Amino acid sequence: PVLVVDFGAQYAQLIARRVREAGVYSEIVPHTVSAAEVAAKNPVGIVLSGGPSSVYEPGAPSLDEGILELGVPTFGICYGFQVMAKQLGGEVAHTGLREYGATDATSVVDVPGTLLHGVPTEQNVWMSHGDSVSKAPEGFEVLASTASTPVAAFANAERGLYGVQWHPEVKHSAYGQQVLENFLHRAAGIPADWNSGNVIAEQVDRIRAQVGDAKVICGLSGGVDSAVAAALVHKAVGDQLVCIFVDHGLLRKDERRQVEEDFVASTGVRLVTVDAREQFMSALAGVSDPEQKRKIIGREFIRSFEQAEIDLVKEAQSEGEPIRFLVQGTLYPDVVESGGGSGTANIKSHHNVGGLPEDLQFELVEPLRTLFKDEVRAIGRELGLPEEIVGRQPFPGPGLGIRIVGEVTAERLDLLRDADAIVREELTAAGLDQEIWQCPVVLLADVRSVGVQGDGRTYGHPIVLRPVSSEDAMTADWTRLPYDVLARISNRITNEVKDVNRVVLDVTSKPPGTIEWE
Ligand code: XMP
């Protein structure tokens, strides 16, 4: 792999994704990694990320000096560039000049075939730094400068060491991806041969090696991750896999059918659907407090899922083949964020209900552990999953239950399902699915307002549209949807959905509003 050394902030994940976009597999390692640990991973290249610190701050993150001596081609970015300069005997100055935002970097020497190959002499780059490299280390050539940064890029081609002060990984750097690819393909000579097809082949081998001919179960949520994980495992071990899907009645229109028909048709997976609609309805009766709803839904979900698990495990045991493996759709950002970048799959001691042994444990099968979301989608497509499943926007586990402000009832769910389906249909028809992160549709069940529909007075409920744009759901802005699309949605909802006589738009960013209303 190419190792991306993480010096903090969010840059490392972005760099890792850009490296993969260049067709090269990458992994993130913490900056505390030792040279021996790096060597053990046999990297073909190393990228040192940016970070929020100053190299001269006490306790500033540093790098094991041996890493730059391994003979592995290395590319330092921003803070990583300065760490490299300082360790190799160059000078980093606290200039007091902060450079932030878009700047022009000028190539001062042209080294064909390496870092700045094929980019214009003047290129617009994205900077964010307080310190600057004031003198390149011995043996390094300065490649570029900006008005306030004399050493904005350097190289020691002989040792395979390169660096830039700017951020090539952000889209604001006009030729950023090209500079990164120059490092990977030209300077380090790494071929672009990592793609969905390889990932699938590799994971299939791994899954087979891990589970052998044992049985495996997988809970489907209707979301992208669990669907792709299940499809991969199914490709590897076929009918040894059984999937469980809990219909809690809080699903959107057509979701159950998508899982039961589209997913099964495209994969051939064995599926057990648990119809828990009545169980959820009665548990939610009379409850309108959001936190209480969430707790009830979570509890009932685990109950029905576990019951299905138990039934399957018992059935398997009676056939003499107990189920030992559980598939989970864990993604790479979860792994990195929980600090387990290099850990391997672990054992989860499983919550236990009813008639199974206390120590029932499942070994986890996590075929998406090394992947980012967009890569999971690409793999899903490659595996032939339908776009309705692969292209799905995020949807909360508690489903429509937290999109009804007020008590959840069967009638209200039907009404919300209809309104939500109209919104999704119109957004898709307008080609807006890529632009929005998600668009919760909320029923204000405890609010009524006066309207006039047909010839008469109505006293109905408002529907709230909550279209948001976001990178990661931690922060979000409301999406400026075209008025004509909003008008169409509003017309259709008020005409087609019984008891709704008003459509309103939520124009709140997050913070202060959360994306969901409850
Ligand atoms: P909030 O409302 O906190 O939502 O801004 C952030 C993102 O998380 C989703 N969300 C959930 N997802 N279980 C989930 O799997 C939940 O309980 C849950 N609550 C919110 C929400 O849709 C948004 O994408």
Predicted local distance difference test score (pLDDT) of residue 52:
83
How far is the centre of ligand 1, averaged over its atoms, from the C-alpha of 511 (Å)? 14
**Cα separations in angstroms, 330 against 37, 149, 227, 229, 337:** 24, 42, 12, 9, 12
Binding residues: 221-227
Q: What span, in angstroms and rounded, lies between the C-alpha atoms of 390 and 407?
A: 32
- Residue minimizing CA distance to atom 11 of ligand 1: 396
423 C-alpha to center of ligand 1: Å? 19
CA distance 76 to 164: 6
pLDDT of residue 343: 33
Helix 373-382 to helix 196-211 angle, to the nearest 10 degrees?
90
pLDDT at res. 59: 85
What number of residues does the chain have? Answer: 518
Residue nearest atom 7 in ligand 1 by C-alpha distance: 473
Domain residue spans of the chain: 2-187, 196-390, 403-505
Give the CA angle between residues 374, 27, 167 to the nearest 5°: 75
Catalytic residues: 78, 167, 169
What separation in Å is there between the alpha carbon of 516 and the centre of ligand 1? 7
**Dihedral angle, C-alpha 71, 77, 80, 83, nearest 10 °:** 80
What integer pLDDT is reported at residue 35 of this predicted model? 97
Does the fold of domain 403-505 match that of domain 2-187? no
Joined tokens for residue 412? 């209200």
User: What is the CA(211)–ligand 1 centre distance, in A?
Assistant: 33
- Nearest atom within ligand 1 for CA of residue 470: 24
Nearest residue (by CA) to ligand 1, atom 12, is: 396
Query: How far from the centroid of its chain's Cα atoms is residue 292's Cα?
Result: 28
Taking the whole predicted model, whether its pTM rises above 0.90 is answered as no
For residue 221, the ligand 1 atom closest to its alpha carbon is 15
Task: Report which ligand 1 atom has the smallest distance to the Cα of 402.
Answer: 19
Q: Which atom of ligand 1 is nearest to the CA of 514?
A: 5
Ligand 1: residues whose CB is within 6 Å? Answer: 394, 396-398, 438, 473, 510, 514-516
Q: Which atom of ligand 1 is nearest to the CA of 438?
A: 24
Stretch (H or E) spanning 466: none
What per-residue confidence (pLDDT) applies to 484?
98
Predicted local confidence at residue 4, as pLDDT: 97
User: Quick one: which of 429, 401, 426 has its CA closest to 489?
Assistant: 426
Tell me 112's DSSP state: T
Q: Which two tokens stand for residue 84?
A: 């490299």
For the CA of 294, the closest atom of ligand 1 is 17
272 closest CA partner among 233, 315, 325:
315
Centre of ligand 1 to C-alpha 152, Å, is 41
C-alpha to C-alpha distance for 153 and 166, rounded to whole angstroms: 8
The residue whose CB lies within 8 Å of the most ligand 1 atoms, and thus the one to mutate among 221, 441, 516, is 516
Alpha carbon of 475 to ligand 1 centroid (Å)? 12
What's the CATH number for 2-187? 3.40.50.880
Overall fold of domain 403-505: GMP Synthetase; Chain A, domain 3 (3.30.300)
Which of 437, 468, 472, 515 most suits a substitution to test ligand 1, by most atoms within 8 Å of the C-beta? 515
Residue nearest to atom 18 of ligand 1 (CA): 396
- Give the mean pLDDT per block of 10 residues along the chain (518 residues): 89 92 95 96 97 85 95 97 96 78 72 81 86 93 89 94 94 92 96 95 96 93 92 97 95 93 94 95 97 92 83 82 86 76 36 46 88 93 93 90 97 98 97 94 97 92 96 88 98 96 97 94
Sheet holding 241-247, edge to edge: 270-275, 241-247, 216-220, 325-327, 361-365, 347-349
Q: Domain 196-390 carries which CATH code?
A: 3.40.50.620
Distance 250 CA to ligand 1 centre (A): 15
Q: Which of 393, 403, 382, 401 is nearest to 461 (CA)?
A: 403
- What is the residue with the minimal CA distance to atom 19 of ligand 1? 396
Output the known binding site for ATP: 221-227
Backbone angles phi, psi at 223, to 5 degrees: -85, 175
Atom 20, ligand 1: which residue's CA is nearest? 396
